């Protein structure tokens, strides 16, 4: 079953454009959305295993840029993330 994953970032203002450029050029096949002062990155993958396999490299990438991000005040740290199973894909029949 496909999965949809999302990570939300809130770069420090002085690093916003640099961080956005890094997200746009990180080599992954993702959707990138900007809303006000936050960046959202979305992936649709073929299975939850693909997410698990990508996680070590993704965490290394994020650790290199941690200094660019603001900490969320609600205790989430420097990112907010979630993954869920896709039950309907409008691009597929059935």
Please tell me the pTM assigned to this model.
0.89
Write down the pLDDT at residue 91: 85
Write down the pLDDT at residue 23: 97
Q: Exposure of 41 by Cβ count < 10 A (0-12 exposed, 13-18 middle, 19+ buried)?
A: buried
How far apart, in whole angstroms, are the C-alpha atoms of residue 73 and residue 61? 23
Write down the pLDDT at residue 60: 94
Write down the pLDDT at residue 94: 58
Structure-block tokens of residue 12: 């420090």
Write down the pLDDT at residue 54: 87
Residues 6+ apart with CB under 8 A from 51: 3, 5, 43, 45, 83
pLDDT tens track for 5-61:
999 999 999 999 999 999 999 988 999 999 999 999 999 998 888 888 888 999 999
């Amino acid at each position: 079953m496909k999965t949809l994953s999302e990570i939300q970032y809130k770069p420090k203002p002085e690093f916003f454009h640099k961080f956005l450029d890094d997200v746009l050029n990180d080599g992954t096949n993702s959707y990138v959305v900007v809303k006000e002062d936050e960046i959202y990155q979305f992936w649709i993958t073929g299975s939850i295993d693909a997410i698990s396999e990508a996680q070590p490299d993704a965490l290394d990438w994020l650790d290199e840029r941690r200094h660019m991000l603001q900490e969320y005040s609600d205790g989430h740290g420097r990112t907010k993330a979630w993954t869920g199973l896709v039950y309907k894909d409008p691009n597929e029949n059935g």
